[in-house]
């Protein structure tokens, strides 16, 4: 898809086209003017300085999409332009996410180098780390109620069957006494005390319910974050003159494109086992107990949409060929075959769901627990998404072995059974 530098002729659609240099592919940023993307030094220089992130984004050589899509709801740094609303802007870098400490016009965060040029570290004077899936969450300055109660919850597995009982316990005074000369004396008194232990069933059951709800919220955030701007989310379907309406290296014309958008999503998780530990941790000046939790859930690909688009009648290809009405209709029918293939793949999703269990030990604080669980489930998400992408690409290649861009199945099209 991307032309290897140097090229003989600068593409007329330079802003949406991409070029290949030293094994990597690049495309002009969206915020760069069309005329600036058509500079000869970009296309006809074998040593284009692609490390100048002011101009280019690195993209996938096959799809033309940015190689780094970001994390959660935060796009990858560098961005194409400075966000218009800094109070609701964040970016991902080196596996973490950041937002402005002071998003006001006087806070200094509106400088272009922070957003549109490659950063090698997060400048602490301007930026603060945030949760990639919930970066604008407003945290109370007061520590959450129940931190002390969480200490008692560490004995949950032993105390869950406690009931209203009365105990007579003999406590021996353990205070050490000394006389005026500094010699140790024995003056221990025996004291009888009566303790009343109330039922803890309700409290411990409530703690378990709260943990279950927290885990459900975390997985819902993962699903929502993946859907909004996930690591593997495909971009809108194709660019005219960049992805379709182009001449392929073999001289053939590509008149349309079909984009399946599918994502792995988790079902409602279930806490299988949990235990609050004695070890504590400090988060934002608040003390939390550590928790060990084992969670079971099901992961399944979900079809979001299938988009197909084709060149219009009268479109002029780079070689001067003008699209006819017959061409337009033929390409539409060609793309419908791709749509059918992807629909057939999606029908198999329910039978291909995967049950997984993950174990996590982390601070019992939402953002920390969120990050720990997200890291545990990430390999499963990556594997399932990668398998689908390879499957979709293979279906496309197979289809094109039989039908060219202006050719299509005659009669009813049946999907191959082994898609």
For residue 138, is pLDDT > 60?
no
Least confident of 105-114, 177-186, 266-275, 318-327: 177-186
What distance in Å separates the CA atoms of residue 376 and residue 109, rounded to the nearest whole number? 33
What is d(CA 54, CA 386) in angstroms, rounded to the nearest whole number?
Answer: 30
**Residue of higher predicted confidence among 375 and 34:** 375
If one compares 254 and 242, the residue with the highest pLDDT of the two is 254
Distance CA(123)–CA(93), nearest Å, equals: 12
Query: Out of 27-36, 113-122, 123-132, 223-232, which region has the weakest mean confidence (pLDDT)?
Result: 223-232
Quick check: 92 pLDDT over 70? yes
Q: In which band, very low, low, confident or very high, does the pLDDT at 234 lie, cut at 50, 70 and 90?
A: very low
Residues 174-198 have pLDDT tens digits of 444 444 444 444 444 444 333 333 3
Structure tokens at 392: 């979709």
pLDDT in tens, 257-295: 999 989 999 999 999 999 988 888 887 778 888 899 999
Is pLDDT at 255 greater than 90 in this prediction? Answer: yes
Share of the chain above pLDDT 90, in %: 30
Residue 339, φ and ψ in degrees, nearest 5: -55, -45
The region of weakest confidence among 49-58, 102-111, 227-236 is 227-236
Return the minimum-mean-pLDDT range out of 50-64, 70-84, 242-256, 393-407: 50-64
Q: Do residues 285 and 324 touch, judged by C-beta distance below 8 A?
A: no
* CB proximity list for 248: less than 8 A, separation 6 or greater: 254
Work out the average pLDDT over 51-68: 69
Distance CA 252, CA 275 (A): 63
pLDDT, averaged across the chain: 77
Distance set, CA 74 to CA 98, 124, 130, 153 (Å):
8, 18, 10, 35
- Give the torsion sign (CA, 155, 156, 157, 158): positive
Using the predicted structure, report yes or no on whether residue 77 has a pLDDT greater than 70: yes
- Which range has the top average pLDDT, 145-154, 283-292, 372-381? 372-381
Tens-digit pLDDT profile for residues 194-219: 333 333 333 333 477 888 998 998 99
Q: What is the mean pLDDT of residues 234-262?
A: 83
55 Cβ contact list (under 8 Å, min separation 6): 28, 29, 32, 36, 37, 42
Name the percent of the chain lying above pLDDT 70.
76
- Predicted pLDDT of residue 390: 92
The mean pLDDT of 329-337, rounded to a whole number, is 94
Q: Which residues are within 8 A (CB) of 160 and not within 5 positions of it... i.e. 6 or more apart? A: 200, 201, 204, 205
Comparison of pLDDT for 114 and 228, the residue scoring more: 114
The more confident residue out of 193 and 222 is: 222
Q: Which of 15-19, 150-154, 275-279 has the lowest mean pLDDT?
A: 150-154
Q: Is 72 exposed, middle or buried (0-12, 13-18, 19+ CB in 10 A)?
A: buried
The pLDDT-based confidence of 377 (bands split at 50, 70, 90) is very high
Residue with the larger pLDDT of the pair 315 and 239: 315
- What's the whole-number mean pLDDT along residues 361-371? 87
pLDDT at 414: 86
- Nearest-angstrom CA–CA distance, 260 and 303: 8
C-alpha distances (whole Å) from 173 to each of 101, 187, 193, 196 are 54, 9, 12, 20
HEC sequence for the chain: CCEECCCCCCCCCCCCCEEEECCEEEEECCCCCHHHHCCHHHHCCCCCCCCCCCCEEEECCCCCCECCCCECCECECCCCCCCCCHHHCCEEECCEEEEECCCCCCCCCCCHHHHCCCCCCCCCCCEEEECCCCCCCCCCCCCCCCHHHHHHHCCHHHHCCCCCEEEEEEEECCCCEECCCCCEECCCCEEEEEEEECCCHHHHHHHHHHHHHHHHHHHHHHHHHHHHHCCCCCCCCCCECCCECEECCCCCEECEEEEEEEEEEECCCEEEEEEEEEEEEEECCEEEEEEEEEEEEEEEEEEEEEEEEECCCCCECCCCCECCHHHHHHHHHHHHHHHHHHHHHHHCHHHHCEEEEEEEEEECCHHHHHHHHHHHHHHHHHHHHHHHHHHHHHHHHHHHHHCCCCCCCCCCCCCCCCC
Residue 191: predicted pLDDT:
40
Q: Give pLDDT, residue 256.
A: 93
Residue 58: pLDDT above 50? yes
> CA-to-CA distance for 295 and 309, rounded, in angstroms?
42
């Amino acid at each position: 898809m991307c032309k290897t530098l140097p090229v003989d002729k600068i593409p007329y659609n330079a802003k949406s086209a991409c070029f290949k240099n030293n094994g990597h592919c690049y495309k002009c940023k969206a915020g760069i003017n069309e005329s600036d993307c058509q500079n000869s030094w970009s296309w006809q220089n074998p040593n284009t300085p692609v490390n100048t992130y002011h101009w280019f984004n690195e993209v996938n050589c096959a799809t033309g999409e940015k190689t780094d899509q970001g994390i959660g709801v935060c796009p990858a740094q560098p961005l194409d332009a400075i966000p218009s609303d800094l109070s609701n802007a964040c970016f991902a870098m080196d596996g973490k996410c950041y937002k402005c400490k002071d998003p006001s016009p006087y806070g200094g965060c509106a400088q272009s180098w922070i957003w549109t040029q490659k950063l090698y570290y997060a400048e602490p004077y301007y930026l603060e780390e945030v949760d990639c899936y919930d970066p604008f969450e407003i945290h109370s300055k007061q520590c959450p109620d129940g931190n002390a109660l969480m200490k008692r919850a560490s004995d949950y597995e032993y105390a869950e069957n406690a009931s209203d009982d009365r105990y007579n316990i003999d406590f021996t005074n353990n205070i050490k006494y000394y006389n005026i000369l500094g010699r140790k004396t024995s003056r221990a008194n025996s004291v009888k005390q009566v303790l009343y232990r109330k039922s803890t069933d309700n409290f411990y059951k409530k703690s378990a319910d709260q943990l279950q709800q927290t885990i459900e919220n975390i997985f819902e955030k993962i699903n929502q974050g993946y859907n909004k701007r996930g690591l593997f989310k495909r971009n809108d379907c194709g660019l005219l003159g960049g992805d379709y309406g182009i001449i392929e290296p073999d001289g053939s014309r590509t008149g349309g494109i079909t984009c399946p958008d599918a994502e792995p999503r988790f079902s409602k998780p279930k806490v299988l086992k949990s235990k609050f530990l004695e070890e504590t941790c400090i988060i934002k000046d608040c003390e939390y107990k550590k928790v060990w939790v084992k969670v079971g859930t099901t992961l399944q690909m979900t079809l979001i949409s299938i988009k197909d688009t084709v060149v219009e009648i009268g479109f002029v290809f780079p070689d001067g060929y003008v699209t006819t009405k017959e061409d337009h209709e033929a390409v539409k029918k060609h793309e419908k075959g791709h749509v059918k293939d992807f629909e057939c793949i999606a029908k198999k999703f329910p039978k291909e769901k995967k049950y997984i269990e993950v174990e996590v030990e982390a601070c019992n604080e939402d953002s920390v627990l969120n990050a720990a669980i997200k890291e545990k489930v990430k390999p499963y998400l990556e594997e399932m998404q990668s398998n689908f992408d390879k499957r979709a690409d293979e279906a496309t290649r197979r289809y094109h072995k039989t039908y060219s861009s202006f050719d299509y199945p005659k009669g009813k099209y049946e999907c191959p059974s082994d898609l």
